[in-house]
Amino acid sequence: METNNLRLSHRPHGIKHPYHQDADERFPRQPLAGSPVSLGVRTWPPGACQRVWASWKDEGDSIEHASEGQLTEPSREAVETMLFATSVVRQGWAPPGDTWRVELPPFIAGQRITYRLHAASAAEQISSPDYTFTVLAWAAAGLPHRCSLAEDRAEVRFPTAGEREISLVFRLAGVDQIEFQLGAAQPDCAAAPLEQQTPCALTDGLLRLEIHQQPYRLSLSRAGKVLLASSSPPEYLAGGENEPLKAVRLSFDSPPDEGFFGLGERFHAFNQRGTAPDVLLYEQYKNQGIHTYIPVPVLLSSRGYALYLKTARFSRFDLAASRPDRWTCTAELGKDEAIAGFVYAADSPLENLHRFCRQVGLPKLPPEWAFGPWMSSNEWNSQAIVMEQVRLAEEHDIPATVLVIEAWSDENTFYIWNDARYQPKPSDQPLTLRDFTFPPEGKWPDPKAMIDELHRRGIRLVLWQIPIMKFLGGEQHPQKDIDEAYMLRKGYHLRWQDGSPYRVRPFWFHDSLLLDVTNPEAVDWWMAKRAYLLDELGVDGFKTDGGEHLWGRDVLFANGMRGDEGQNLYPNLYVGAYHRFACQKRGGDALTFSRAGFTGAQAFPCHWAGDENSTWEAFRASLFAGLSAGLSGIPFWGWDLAGFSGEVPSAELYLRSASMAAFCPIMQYHSEYNDHRRPLRDRTPWNIAERSGRPEVIDIYRQFAHLRMRLLPYITAEARHCAETGEPLMRPLFLDWPDDPQAWQVDDQYCFGRALLVAPVLEPGAVERRLYLPAGEWVDFWDGQLTAGGQWITAAAPLDRIPVYRRLDRAWTGLS
């Protein structure tokens, strides 16, 4: 809202940032009953506005109320997100102007409030359009009052404040697993009154589910042992009596020793008790904390059960964070007003994991070459640099089986080699290799010869990709401009409900178009432009970066899906399209390497942990991430060893990370773009040796890289087992020793496959490592010394050694 002088901005939902709110948003975006509502306002020019206020009224009330605003200082997060706002970027307003806050009183559930904002300077007064919101409220359902039972199904109904009912349905869904559905009850399903003293019970012999009316009690037991119990009826979020349900919540009792694991790739903790993670895909550039690139709504409990929410919409797990004796799961609902899920109650956490993975899909096995050492750096932006790095690797006798090139394309189309010469073509006529000439003085004078030479040396090539049509901000690029015009004309992009194109809102590639991966025609068009990379050049796969660029509940996909469901699903759809395309072109001998994903991402291997600093803290967080990802069905995972960002790591951090990476599913070093500054920040062992003044870095890294190659028979055999069962390659100790309380407490060790126990050195200055050996007999991997398990030991840990022990009671393929 603006005139010739005074301007006012209020956007109730801002840019729909998942975690931060702009200074001119409504707080909260969706008001709840009993809580005050704040209206954020921004005015321009700075200092011109003397007063801001709001006028508002209830839809059913003719009386209009007014609330005065106060001048405020916006938070740092508000200023940062405001800088990314489309309206600000496009109109060029100078941030932050003046920020104001208008406080409205608490409202009651179901009220529909309409408000307008006003601003006045000494010379004029302006007003905003009308805005409206409906007040929602959480409420607990009443005690269960009706029940229907069948041989394999039970439905219990709970009254609400209105005339409708909440329905909780359980169905025996196979051995040791129960499917459940929670939401609005359907009116066509009759249920008899539930007698106060008679539980509604469902059993298959070993498992027994009971629901008592008064006092309310839900319990799931196996062989008489209670695994999961609740003494609180379900809760629901709605806007008033008989209004559609927006979300539901289940609460369960939790004893103080219960541990919680999984929920996707989690950096903040391995045992997540005492935290409240949500299931929402988000790109947190470094220092991820509680945020994640790969959320998966599956939870494994140390009490012997696992719970999986079968939804892609937002959910949250409060794991005894708000109350020490209770954990809750909250899930948003779609149009069907119900949420489904499964409880697995097998006799071990490993069996529960098996059932989950069979439910959502077993992992796909990557090609064997994926398990050798990888080399990568964003600085490698020319054929000469790439081949020089390969030469240095061979000179230092450091093997590699995969090379990743990120800075290979023109950074506009992302499918044309930088400096390649060609005549632009209509967008529905893909360029082929014969359409290009590669100048000898260019960055990539002969990519075909380069790739052939890499293959001759036993190195596979992976090229970087993202799913956007880049916004150039007025720059001209003939082929990209043709492609973008075609994409807009054909509607191959995501869009808002009014039909306008959705443009990327995060800071990364801001304002770019996002490919609609539910439109088969759009996907075919997009992939056809990249076909020559596989068909004619022999590229072996793609580093499918990004996928976290969708913000907004009301974004529309071609298949009718909305953003509230599509935000979490997008990376699987995007990466899946690339994975299928590459595997089809390369006869299955291809892979994708992705940082984002969701439930079922294991169908498109491999994954890495995203952006991280070169710090010991990030090293430890990456270990948590790998273990949690494995418990969520994603076994083929790695990380940028020793971090990829900032100043190069110390020699000690680099080598401790390399030693762990040698015993991880993917062993890779990588570094981010640093504008080719000198000295280089590459994470190659020779650069770390030079930068640190520690030439032994090369020798020790060589030792671990060669060890990795010698371990390949064992790794590939164990990887096949992972693909057949869903078990992780990085195995938390409790998977194999579920009855050992110590195994549930250890979060800094793991088994690499079924035969090796690995204890990374995670602290600087250490020369030994205290570790736990579970029951059994163990052989020191390095010196062959036999050690009895069931005890804590202290192992020597010089810089060239990581404590590793081999189980005598498991098959061992040995070293090649």
- Vertex 102 angle, CA 98 and 104, to 5°: 170
- Written as one letter, the residue type at 95 is P
Pairing of strands 326-332, 245-253: antiparallel
Helix (H, G, I), strand (E, B) or coil at 434: helix
Q: Which residues, 6 or more positions from 776, have their beta carbon under 8 angstroms from its beta carbon?
A: 789, 790, 807, 808, 809
- Vertex 470 angle, CA 467 and 476, to 5°: 150
Q: How far apart are CA 328 and CA 414, in angstroms?
A: 44
Residue 211 phi/psi, 5-degree rounding, is -130, 120
Q: How far apart are CA 223 and CA 207, in angstroms?
A: 7
- What is the CA 628 to chain-centroid distance, rounded? 12
Q: Are 530 and 431 in contact (CB under 8 A)?
A: no
Q: Which helix (H) or strand (E) holds 77?
A: helix 76-83
- How many C-beta neighbours within 10 Å does residue 662 have? 23
Q: How far apart are CA 562 and CA 690, in angstroms?
A: 51
- Written as one letter, the residue type at 210 is E
Q: Which of 548, 536, 535, 542 is nearest to 576 (CA)?
A: 542
- How many C-beta neighbours within 10 Å does residue 242 have? 12
Q: Catalytic residue numbers? A: 545, 548, 611
If DSSP states are collapsed to H, E and C, what string results for 496-526?
CCCCCECECCCCCCCCCEEECCCCHHHHHHH
Q: Which residues, 6 or more positions from 468, have their beta carbon under 8 angstroms from its beta carbon?
A: 504, 509, 512, 513, 514, 515, 546, 549
Q: Which of 694, 663, 668 is nearest to 761 (CA)?
A: 663
If DSSP states are collapsed to H, E and C, what string results for 747-815?
CCCEEECCCEEECCCCCCCCCEEEEEECCCEEEECCCCCEEECCEEEEEECCCCCCCEEEECCCCCCCC
Q: Which residues, 6 or more positions from 189, have their beta carbon under 8 angstroms from its beta carbon?
A: 148, 155, 167
Q: How far apart are CA 302 and CA 260, in angstroms?
A: 7
Q: How far apart are CA 704 and CA 719, in angstroms?
A: 20
- Written as one letter, the residue type at 193 is P
- Written as one letter, the residue type at 568 is N
Q: How far apart are CA 730 and CA 750, in angstroms?
A: 6
